[in-house]
Chain A
Amino acid sequence: MQTTSDEVLISRIAGGDRLAMQVLYARHHVRVYRFVLRLVRNEATAEDLISEVFLDVWRQAGKFEGRSAASTWMLGIARFKALSAMRRRPEQELDDETAGQIEDHADDPETALAKKDKGSALRQCLTRLSADHREIIDLVYYHEKSVEEVSEIVGVPAATVKTRMFYARKKLSELLKEQGIDRGWP
């Protein structure tokens, strides 16, 4: 089974090929949406931004030089859109689902049970990280981006990427400790 590469799709998009645009969208829209959603924490906003991100892909396809992976290029566009939206909406509206994940301080029986589940606790703590820390955790773990690719997307030096990831993980341990889970690190 052979698939057309992202680079070829983007060159076709540069020529106005709508079908290539559909294929690229189908291939990447879920991951890009999840990346944006984790940043803006609002499904409606994330969905609006997805259309804007891929419209930018359509417009800028001719400028894509293929120096980085297409997904890295698109995540860079998505990040810029998400940060712009967050600046327009500084109060950080949260949707019900996300808020539900965050409000976990109450020690009701259900929460107490969840705390026993390290995995569940970890996921809750991942939602409570700052935008910078959420972003880097997701780029490294979920989007499987290398140090250099994260550096390109976030626009910081590689050394900063590594230290930011380290501090994101450190913060995660602190949040877990607040829930009574001591990882023995850092």
Chain B
Amino acid sequence: MNTMKQEAPERQEIEELLPWHAAGTLSRRDARRVEEALARDPELARRYALVRAEFGEAVHLNETLGAPSALALEKLFVAIDAEPQRRQAASLNLGSRIGEFFSNLSPRTLAWSTGVAAIAILLQAGLLADIMLKESKTGGYETASAPTTDPGVGAFTLIRFAPQASSDDITKFLEANKLSIAAGPMAGGLYKVRVSVSGIPKGELARIVKKLQEDKVVGFIAATE
């Protein structure tokens, strides 16, 4: 008797899920619970047969309801035409654009693109490693000057370092004079070196160039823009 009392709410709970089980919209866990209950409870299984009959006839009924005429679509687009113009780019955020891009790729294209991207990343990593190794051979170029992300901002010189100058010598030279490498090496072993993060008068730049030229690390130096 107690068992029946305990089972009744469970049967009620399972019975309420039967319509969704018939439609296949239950979670996997609930579907398994229903399946197990149906297997052990013949009365529940009989009621499930009723649900399946309702399900079939509800679909049948809806399928016989027809469809709207083409006028509905025409009316819709007349209304859309009367709407204010939209700014297409503004309403598409980056996330949806990325999502759209990937969703438009076929699985084969996606797999191929992923492979290419992986190779590109490996190549880039290799190049970066190569640059780091080269820089470590020459000691790297770090200065105490204020960093700037824009290589075109400030006052510059072109410097070719003396062949006998070691990487330590060059690093110390750059640090001592608060210089930074902006670009290079270019043709002829030249480096574009920033001497100031802001523009300075030509006379002042010429004075700096003359002073730097006296350092044994410098093989050639000239002011540049």
Residues of chain A at the chain B interface (Cβ within 8 Å):
2, 4-5, 7-8, 11-12, 14-18, 21-22, 25, 29-30, 33-34, 37-38, 43, 46-48, 50-51, 54-55, 58-59, 62, 118-119, 122-123, 126-127, 137-138, 140-142, 144-147, 149, 162-163, 165-166, 169, 172, 183-185
Contact = CB atoms under 8 A, between A and B. Distances in A.
A18 B77 contact: yes
Contacts of B60: 119, 123
A140 B50 CA distance: 15
Interface of A (DSSP majority class): helix
A137 B73 contact: no
Contact of B25 (A4, A7, A33, A146): A146
B36 interface: no
Contacts of A184: 46
A17 B19 CA distance: 38
A5 B59 contact: no
B88 A15 contact: yes
A166 to B, nearest CB: 5
Contacts of A4: 103-104
B36 to A, nearest CB: 19
B19 A165 contact: yes
Interface residues of B, number: 51
Contact of A15 (B19, B79, B91): B91
Contact of A141 (B54, B71, B75): B54
Nearest to B25: A146
B9 interface: no
Nearest to B90: A15
B26 A146 contact: yes
A137 B100 CA distance: 35
9 contacts: A11-B92, A12-B92, A14-B96, A21-B76, A33-B72, A137-B58, A146-B26, A149-B25, A169-B54
Contacts of B69: 47
